[in-house]
């Protein structure tokens, strides 16, 4: 018994997985008592649940929950916090229904409490004798006392493993949330124009009225729509997006309203439309100004009457959706051109919100650059690059006609083509067509100036990269590889090939003149991953 006890204690200190620990611990105790059936129960919110069972037909017991209002030996032990012995058929505490489908019945049950460190009982362990007359169990007092001591040690180990598993699960959940947070597009800015727009969006979130977002392409209208939905009472319901300019009118109509089988050739089954799918939530209609007059009339009915009628259906259906629409057009001009319905405009424009262009919020450019540089570097598995002061000044004065979307695409490109740790002014010439800033009527020391090219003679510069230079003296005739290590050159070349071939590793390896396994090995050594 002593040697077996030592083996049990050793096993308890080595195993952390709750399921494996439950199984091993229970099996050890059954061996000590020379029986073949047993189970472990834990108190849950709705009753006592069997988390592990061993023996013939144990799968019929594992996972069962005994309600609190039904008598059971397990429940008695947990509530009274002490060991007991019960004889099925004679003991009224026995939950006999559990063995209705089991061929070999229990003859004698030894049930022991499972304690936490605090002394609280959280579960119970059953050792079951199925032999004729129930004569295998050793019920001598000194033996049971020793057995209870072993179970006490084991119960603490079991509770610790459950806490550990819970923490692991919680960490995995937090990591998943963090990964989602990192992957999501975020609203970033501190300029007065940006903060005013976000404050207005938050105020709009408290209502269910339609919102019309206006502004140039790339200003983040969909992100703002998502933020309004997130802050609204509908945030636990769907947020569905439809770009009204991306697909033909006939297809757009079926996407929005759905159709019934037989509504047209090829309609072999019913299709639920976007409005019906988003019931209780929010529908974001992007580029609403490109929608046809015919569809505008159908949208008007949704806004006015909260009704839709799928194609081929004779009866309308009620829907509860909030509509947020967006456009980069001047809808008043479109109304004058008879390209947009005036009645729909007033229905959609209950809560108007104009989003500022990036030119109107230049102080946000450094924040956005930092965010995109960090995010894209993380995705590429590389160290984030830094901007020299002169390159940052250029980027802050650049007009960014594509707004935040253009800036984001710039970051993706420059991270691949820029060499070394710093992104310098001469690196920018690789990205910007024409290599110069056109000023946009603003006073700028870069206006009309050709950006220097990498490898071209440069003027004398400061030794501090943050000041915009490389090293003291003239940089004439220096190579683009100047100051780089072999690993940095190789990293730049690998990233260049991957970007060129859209991360198709086999094609990148072929251009490099090596087999795929060698190229993949070099990627891992350099810490490059998609």
Q: Would you write out the chain's pLDDT as a tens digit for each of its 530 residues?
A: 444 554 555 555 555 677 787 788 888 888 888 888 999 999 998 899 998 999 888 888 888 999 999 999 999 999 999 999 999 888 999 998 888 888 888 999 999 998 887 788 889 999 999 887 778 888 888 888 888 888 887 777 777 777 777 777 777 766 655 555 555 567 889 999 999 999 999 999 999 999 999 999 999 999 999 999 999 999 999 999 999 987 888 889 889 999 888 878 877 888 899 999 999 999 999 999 999 988 999 999 999 999 998 888 888 899 999 999 999 999 999 999 999 999 999 999 999 999 999 999 999 999 999 999 998 998 888 888 999 999 999 999 899 999 999 999 999 999 998 888 899 888 888 787 554 444 444 445 555 555 665 555 444 433 444 444 443 333 333 445 555 677 777 888 888 888 788 788 888 888 888 888 888 888 888 878 76
Q: Cα(60)–Cα(72) distance, rounded to whole angstroms?
A: 17
Question: What pLDDT is stored for residue 141 in this prediction?
Answer: 86
Phi/psi at 322 (5° precision): -100, 135
Q: Cα(383)–Cα(380) distance, rounded to whole angstroms?
A: 9
Element (DSSP H or E) covering residue 353: strand 351-354
Question: What pLDDT is stored for residue 468 in this prediction?
Answer: 41
CATH superfamily, with its number, for domain 192-356: P-loop containing nucleotide triphosphate hydrolases (3.40.50.300)
Where does CATH 3.40.50.300 sit in the chain? 192-356
From residue 28, give the alpha-carbon distance in Å to each of 24, 25, 37, 242. Answer: 6, 5, 12, 61
Question: What pLDDT is stored for residue 70 in this prediction?
Answer: 92
> Residue 100: exposed, middle, or buried by beta-carbon count in 10 A (0-12, 13-18, 19+)?
exposed
Q: Is 117 left (phi over 0), alpha (psi -120 to 50) or beta?
A: alpha
From residue 265, give the alpha-carbon distance in Å to each of 4, 93, 308, 310. Answer: 76, 67, 22, 15
CB 291 within 8 Å of CB 244: yes
Architecture label for domain 360-484 = Orthogonal Bundle (1.10)
CB 127 within 8 Å of CB 109: yes
pTM: 0.54
Look at residue 449 and give its three-state secondary structure.
Answer: coil
Where does CATH 3.30.450.40 sit in the chain? 2-166
Phi/psi at 52 (5° precision): -155, 145
Question: What pLDDT is stored for residue 502 in this prediction?
Answer: 78
Show the DSSP H helices in 34-100 as ranges.
73-80
> Residue 356: exposed, middle, or buried by beta-carbon count in 10 A (0-12, 13-18, 19+)?
buried
Question: What pLDDT is stored for residue 442 in this prediction?
Answer: 45
- Give the sign of the dihedral formed by CA 463, CA 465, CA 467, CA 469: positive
Could you tell me the fold of the domain covering 2-166? Beta-Lactamase (3.30.450)
Where does CATH 1.10.8.60 sit in the chain? 360-484
Show the DSSP H helices in 34-118 as ranges.
73-80
Q: Cα(175)–Cα(180) distance, rounded to whole angstroms?
A: 8
Q: Cα(496)–Cα(82) distance, rounded to whole angstroms?
A: 70
Q: Cα(447)–Cα(394) distance, rounded to whole angstroms?
A: 10
Question: What pLDDT is stored for residue 14 in this prediction?
Answer: 55
CB 75 within 8 Å of CB 96: no
Dihedral (Cα; 10, 13, 17, 23), 10-degree rounding:
30
Q: Look up residue 94 and give its DSSP letter.
A: -
> b/e per residue, 308-318, with b = 16+ CB within 10 A?
bbbbbeeeebe
From residue 298, give the alpha-carbon distance in Å to each of 17, 152, 310, 335, 444. Answer: 58, 70, 11, 17, 50
């Amino acid at each position: 018994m002593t040697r077996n006890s030592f083996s049990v204690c050793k096993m308890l200190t080595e195993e952390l997985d709750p399921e494996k620990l439950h199984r091993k611990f229970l099996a050890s105790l059954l061996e000590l008592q020379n029986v073949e059936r047993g189970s472990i129960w834990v108190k849950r919110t709705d009753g006592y649940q069997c988390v592990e069972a061993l023996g013939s037909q144990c799968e019929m017991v594992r996972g069962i929950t005994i309600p609190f209002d039904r008598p059971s030996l397990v429940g008695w032990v947990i509530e009274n916090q002490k060991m007991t012995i019960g004889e099925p058929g004679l003991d009224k505490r026995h939950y006999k229904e559990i063995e209705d489908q089991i061929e070999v019945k229990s003859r004698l049950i030894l049930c022991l409490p499972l304690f936490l460190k605090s002394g609280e009982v959280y579960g119970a362990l059953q050792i079951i004798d199925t032999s004729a007359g129930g004569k295998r169990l050793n019920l001598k007092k000194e033996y049971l006392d020793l057995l209870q001591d072993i179970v006490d040690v084991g119960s603490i180990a079991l509770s610790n493993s459950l806490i550990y598993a819970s923490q692991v699960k919680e960490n995995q959940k937090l990591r998943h949330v963090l990964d989602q947070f990192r992957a999501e597009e975020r609203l970033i800015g501190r300029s007065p124009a940006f903060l005013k727009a976000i404050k207005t969006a938050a105020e709009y979130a408290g209502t269910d009225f339609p919102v019309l977002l206006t502004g140039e392409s790339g200003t983040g209208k969909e992100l703002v729509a998502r933020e309004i939905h997130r802050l609204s009472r509908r945030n636990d319901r769907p947020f569905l997006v439809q770009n009204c300019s991306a697909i033909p009118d006939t297809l757009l109509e079926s996407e929005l309203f759905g159709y019934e089988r037989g509504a047209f050739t090829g309609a072999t089954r019913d299709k639920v439309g976007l409005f019906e799918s988003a019931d209780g939530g929010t529908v974001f209609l992007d580029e609403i100004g490109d929608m046809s007059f015919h569809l505008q009339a159908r949208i008007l009915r949704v806004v006015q009457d909260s009704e839709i009628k799928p194609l081929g259906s004779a009866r309308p259906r009620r829907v509860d959706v909030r509509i947020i629409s967006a456009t980069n057009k001047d809808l008043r001009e479109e109304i004058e051109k008879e390209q947009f319905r005036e009645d729909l405009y007033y229905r959609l424009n209950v809560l108007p919100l104009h989003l500022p262009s990036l030119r109107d919020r230049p102080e946000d450019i450094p924040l956005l650059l930092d965010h995109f540089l960090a995010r894209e570097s993380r995705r590429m598995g590389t160290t984030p690059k830094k901007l020299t002061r002169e390159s940052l000044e250029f980027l802050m004065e650049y007009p960014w006609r594509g707004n935040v979307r253009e800036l984001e695409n710039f970051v993706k490109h420059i991270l691949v083509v820029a060499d070394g740790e710093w992104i310098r002014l001469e690196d920018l010439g690789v990205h910007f067509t024409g290599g110069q800033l056109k000023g946009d009527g603003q006073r700028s020391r870069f206006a009309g100036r050709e950006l220097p090219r990498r490898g071209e003679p440069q003027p004398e510069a400061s030794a501090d990269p943050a000041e915009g230079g490389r090293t003291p003296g003239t940089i004439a005739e220096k190579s683009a590889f100047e100051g780089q290590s072999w690993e940095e050159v190789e990293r730049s070349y690998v990233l260049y090939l991957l970007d060129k071939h859209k991360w198709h590793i086999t094609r990148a390896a072929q251009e490099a003149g090596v087999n795929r396994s060698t190229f993949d090995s070099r990627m891992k050594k350099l810490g490059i991953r998609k």
